Chain A
Amino acid sequence: MGNTTVRTAALEQQLVQDAAKAGIAASAATPSIEINDLKLSFGAFEVLKDLNLTVSQGEFLVLLGSSGCGKSTLLNCIAGLLDVSDGQIHIGGRNVTWEEPSERGIGMVFQSYALYPQMTVEGNLSFGLKNARVPKAKIAEKIAAAAKTLQIEPLLKRKPAALSGGQRQRVAIGRALVRDVDVFLFDEPLSNLDAKLRADLRVEIKQLHQTLGNTMIYVTHDQVEAMTLADRIAIMRGGNILQLASPNEIYSRPTCKYVAEFIGSPSMNFFEGTVTDNTFNSAAGSFDLQGYDFAAQTVPGQSAWLGIRPEHIAVGDAAAAEQNRMQAVVELVEPLGSDTLARARAGDQSIWVRMDGQAAIAPGDELALGFSASLANLFDKTSEERL
C-alpha cells in the first residue's frame, strides 16, 4: 500500500507537469471530474485501490488496460452504477458520490449498445428526457439536433433490430447526446464493430469531441483507439493507474516496463543486462547509452532491461550511421503493405524490426541493425520502473 501512495503522489505531480506541457494549464483550473481515494472491493477482493484522478473540463481521457484491470469498474463507479467502498467522486464541482446515475450529469454509451429493443430509435432517444419530465417540444428539438449531428435522421422511426451495428452505436451515442450533459462515458463502444466500421466511428467520436468540447472518459483495451482519441491516457493494471500522460509521453517515455510492453504493436524489444555508467552490457552486445535521458540514479552494475521499439531500429545501410550496432539473422517476415515487420535473431535474443513496406527481405538474410540511445528505454530489473 505504501508503494501505491508514493506512486499516486508522483502521479499527481506528473499530472500537473503534463497539463502544463500540453498547454491546458488554464482549463485545468476547472476540473470536470475529481476522484479522491476511490476504493472498491467485492468481499476481500480489491478491484480499485485508493485511486485518484482529475479530469479537466473538455478533456478526452482514455482508460486503457487489459481485461480485469478495473477500467470498466472505474467507469461504472463514475456513472454511479456501482456503489463505491470508500472515497469521493466529484462531477462538475458537485460531490455525486451518493447520487443516482441519472442525477450525475453524465451520458453513457455501452459496448453492446444497450438500446431498448421494444422502442423505436426516437423512443430510445427520448426515454431519458421523458423520465426527466422535459416538455415535448423541447424533446423533439433535442432529438432533431442529435439526429442531425449523428446523421441518423432517416432511422428515427425504426426499431433497433432493423439497424446495423454502426447505426446502433450511433443511436447509443445519440442517447447520451440528447441528455445535454457535461460528461460522456464510453464503455468500449467500438469493440463489437468490425475493423472498418471501428475506424470510421473512431474518427466520428473524435470529431464529435472537437465539436462539442465535452469531457469524455473512454474505456478501451485497444491501444490504437487510445492513442488516436486521447488527450491523456491512463494505463491501468490491477486497480491502479500506472501512468497518466499524453499519448506521446506514454509512447516515448513509459514509466515502467508494463506500460512500455503494453503500448506499441509489435511490442518493444527488451534486452536483459547491466548498466554501468553510460554502458549497457548484455548477451547481445555492449551498447553505448550516451544521449539517454536518465530518470533515476543508477548504481554501477545494476541489473536492468533495455527496451527499444521496432520502429526505432535502423536497418541495413542506415544502421551503420547509428550509435549502437549489431548483426542479426531474419527468422520471420510479416508484410503489411504500408510497412514490413521482421523478426530477427541475434544470439539468443529475438528482435522485432519495422521496415519499409517495399523492403525485399526473406528469412535467412543477414541484417545489420542499429539504434540510438536517445530513443531507448531503461527499466530496473526488479522494480521495472524507468531508470
Chain B
Amino acid sequence: MTDATQTTPQRTAAAMSGPRGPKPRRRITPSNIMLYSILFVASVYYLLPLYVMVVTSLKGMPEIRLGNVFSPPVEVTFEPWVKAWSEACTGINCDGLSRGFFNSVNILIPSVVLSIAIASVNGYALANWKFKGSEVFFTILIFGAFIPYQVMIYPIVILLREMGQGISAVTGTDFRLMGSLWGLVIVHSIFGMPILTLLFRNYFTSLPDELFKAARVDGVGFWGIYFRIMLPMSLPIFVVAIILQVTGIWNDFLFGVIYTKPDTYPMTVQLNNIVNSVQGVKEYNVNMAATLLTGLVPLVIYFVSGKLFVRGIAAGAVKG
C-alpha cells in the first residue's frame, strides 16, 4: 500500500479542481414542476368527487339543502350510513343494503373460488402439458373474451332454465338455476374464464421449463406438479386473479339484474334501486353513504393487496 501511494505522481491543481463524486441534482427543474403539477391535478380530479361523497354522507338533509357542496359538515351525523345499511327501502323490502351485501358475498365467494380453480388448472395444462390442438383451444378461449355480453344474455337465460329443469327432473325437486344465486355463480365463472386462463397460462409459461422437467424426473404427475410445484410458486398471480374477480363480480350490474330476482339482488342492483327511486325526497346523504358502502369491498381489497397485485402483473408481463 505505501509503495503504491509513493509512486503516485503529484496531481496538478487543475486536475484536482474539476467535477468529482456524484453529479449534483437539482430538485426544482422545469420537468419536475411539470410532472408534479400534472400529478397534483390528476389526484384532485379523482379525489374531489370522493371528498364530496364523504362530506355529503356525513351531513343532515337541512345542511345539504344549503347547497355548499364542498364545505365540511357543520354537524357530523352517521344517521345516513345507518339508514343506507339497514333501513333504506327498495320495493317492498325495507332492510337497507345489508340484504344486497350478503347476497353479493354469497355470489362472490363461490364464483371467485370456482373460476380461479378452473382457470388456473386450464392455464397450467395449456402452458405445460401441450396436447394436439392446445393452441387452437387456447385461441378459441381467448376469442371468448371479445364476445359482447349482450349477445349471450338470452341464450344463457335458456341455458340456466333448461339446466335447472334437468336438475329438478333428476333429483325430483323444484330446483331453479334461473333467478338463483347459483345461476349467477355459474355465469360469473364462465365469463371469467378467458381472461383468467390467459393470465394463468402466461404466468406458468414464464416459470422455467426445466423446473417442470425436473419434477417429472422426480416422479410427480399432472396433479402432483400442479399442487406441489406450481401452486406454491404462484401466489402473486393468484392475488391478481382474486383482485380481478372480486372487483369484477362485485361491481357487476348487468348479470345481477338479469339472472336474479329482487330477493337475491346483489348489492349493486340494490344500490341502483335505492338511488334511482323516484318517490319522495331525494336523500343525497343516504345515497352517498350507500354508494360508499358498496364501493368499500373492492377498495379494501386493493389496499390490502396492492403490492402483490403489481408484482403479479409484472411477473406475468415480463415473459408472456
Report which A residues bind B (CB closer than 8 A): 76, 79-81, 100-103, 106-108, 110-118, 127-128, 131-132, 175, 187
A81 lies within 8 A of B218 (CB): no
Instruction: List 27 contacting pairs A-B, 8 Å CB cutoff, sorted by A.
Output: A81-B213, A81-B217, A100-B219, A101-B213, A108-B213, A108-B214, A110-B210, A112-B210, A114-B213, A114-B214, A115-B214, A116-B211, A116-B214, A116-B215, A116-B229, A117-B233, A118-B233, A127-B215, A127-B218, A127-B220, A128-B217, A128-B218, A131-B218, A131-B220, A131-B224, A175-B214, A175-B218
Complex Cα spacing A127 to B229, Å: 10
B217 lies within 8 A of A79 (CB): yes
Complex Cα spacing A301 to B208, Å: 55
Complex Cα spacing A127 to B227, Å: 13
Shortest beta-carbon distance from B221 to chain A in Å: 8
Q: Which residues of B contact A118 (CB under 8 A)?
A: 232-233
Q: Which residues of A contact B224 (CB under 8 A)?
A: 131
| Other A-B pairs beyond A106-B217, A108-B214, 7, CB < 8 Å | A79-B213, A101-B217, A101-B219, A102-B219, A108-B213, A128-B219, A131-B219
- Beyond A118-B232, A118-B233, whether A102 also contacts B218 by CB under 8 A is yes
Shortest beta-carbon distance from B225 to chain A in Å: 10
Render B192-229 as a binary contact track against A, CB cut-off 8 A, 1 for contact: 00000000000000001011011111111000100001
A102 lies within 8 A of B217 (CB): yes
Number of A-B residue pairs at CB separation under 8 A: 58
Complex Cα spacing A123 to B184, Å: 43
Complex Cα spacing A76 to B209, Å: 12
Complex Cα spacing A107 to B210, Å: 13
Report which B residues bind A (CB closer than 8 A): 208, 210-211, 213-220, 224, 229, 232-233
Contact of B208 among A76, A81, A112 (CB under 8 A): A112
Q: Which residues of B contact A103 (CB under 8 A)?
A: 219
A114 lies within 8 A of B211 (CB): yes
Identify the closest chain A residue to B231 (Cβ): A118
Complex Cα spacing A113 to B215, Å: 12
Complex Cα spacing A175 to B219, Å: 12
Of B218, B220, B224, most A-chain CB atoms within 10 Å = B218
Q: Which residues of B contact A102 (CB under 8 A)?
A: 216-220
Shortest beta-carbon distance from A74 to chain B in Å: 15
Shortest beta-carbon distance from A102 to chain B in Å: 3
Identify the closest chain B residue to A133 (Cβ): B219
Complex Cα spacing A152 to B98, Å: 59
Q: Which residues of A contact B233 (CB under 8 A)?
A: 117-118
Complex Cα spacing A107 to B216, Å: 11
Contact of A100 among B208, B214, B216, B229 (CB under 8 A): B216
Identify the closest chain B residue to A106 (Cβ): B217
Q: Which residues of A contact B219 (CB under 8 A)?
A: 100-103, 128, 131-132
Identify the closest chain B residue to A172 (Cβ): B214
Q: Which residues of A contact B214 (CB under 8 A)?
A: 108, 110, 114-116, 175
Contact of B210 among A111, A127, A128, A131 (CB under 8 A): A111
A110 lies within 8 A of B213 (CB): yes
Identify the closest chain A residue to B235 (Cβ): A118
Identify the closest chain B residue to A102 (Cβ): B219
Q: Which residues of B contact A108 (CB under 8 A)?
A: 213-214, 217
Complex Cα spacing A80 to B208, Å: 18
Identify the closest chain B residue to A108 (Cβ): B217
A114 lies within 8 A of B220 (CB): no
Across chains A and B, which 5 residue pairs bring their CB atoms closest together, nearest first?
A102-B219, A128-B218, A114-B210, A114-B214, A118-B232
Shortest beta-carbon distance from A218 to chain B in Å: 16
Shortest beta-carbon distance from A236 to chain B in Å: 20
Identify the closest chain B residue to A127 (Cβ): B218
A81 lies within 8 A of B232 (CB): no
Complex Cα spacing A187 to B209, Å: 13
Complex Cα spacing A110 to B213, Å: 9
Complex Cα spacing A127 to B211, Å: 13
Shortest beta-carbon distance from A245 to chain B in Å: 30
- Beyond A117-B233, A131-B224, whether A107 also contacts B217 by CB under 8 A is yes
Complex Cα spacing A100 to B213, Å: 11
Contact of B216 among A81, A112, A117 (CB under 8 A): A81
Q: Which residues of A contact B229 (CB under 8 A)?
A: 116
Complex Cα spacing A280 to B214, Å: 53
Shortest beta-carbon distance from B214 to chain A in Å: 4
Identify the closest chain A residue to B220 (Cβ): A131
Q: Which residues of B contact A81 (CB under 8 A)?
A: 213, 216-217
Q: Which residues of A contact B211 (CB under 8 A)?
A: 114, 116
Complex Cα spacing A111 to B211, Å: 11
Complex Cα spacing A80 to B218, Å: 12
Identify the closest chain B residue to A132 (Cβ): B219
Shortest beta-carbon distance from B224 to chain A in Å: 7
Complex Cα spacing A6 to B131, Å: 36
Identify the closest chain A residue to B208 (Cβ): A112
Shortest beta-carbon distance from B76 to chain A in Å: 50
Complex Cα spacing A80 to B217, Å: 8
Shortest beta-carbon distance from B213 to chain A in Å: 5
Shortest beta-carbon distance from A142 to chain B in Å: 14
Q: Which residues of B contact A117 (CB under 8 A)?
A: 233
Identify the closest chain B residue to A104 (Cβ): B217
Shortest beta-carbon distance from B210 to chain A in Å: 4
Identify the closest chain A residue to B214 (Cβ): A114
Of B208, B217, B220, most A-chain CB atoms within 10 Å = B217
Q: Which residues of A contact B210 (CB under 8 A)?
A: 110-114, 187
Identify the closest chain A residue to B211 (Cβ): A114
Complex Cα spacing A178 to B232, Å: 24
Identify the closest chain A residue to B232 (Cβ): A118
Complex Cα spacing A131 to B219, Å: 6
Identify the closest chain B residue to A110 (Cβ): B210
Q: Which residues of A contact B215 (CB under 8 A)?
A: 116, 127
Shortest beta-carbon distance from B135 to chain A in Å: 13
Shortest beta-carbon distance from B154 to chain A in Å: 42
Q: Which residues of B contact A131 (CB under 8 A)?
A: 218-220, 224
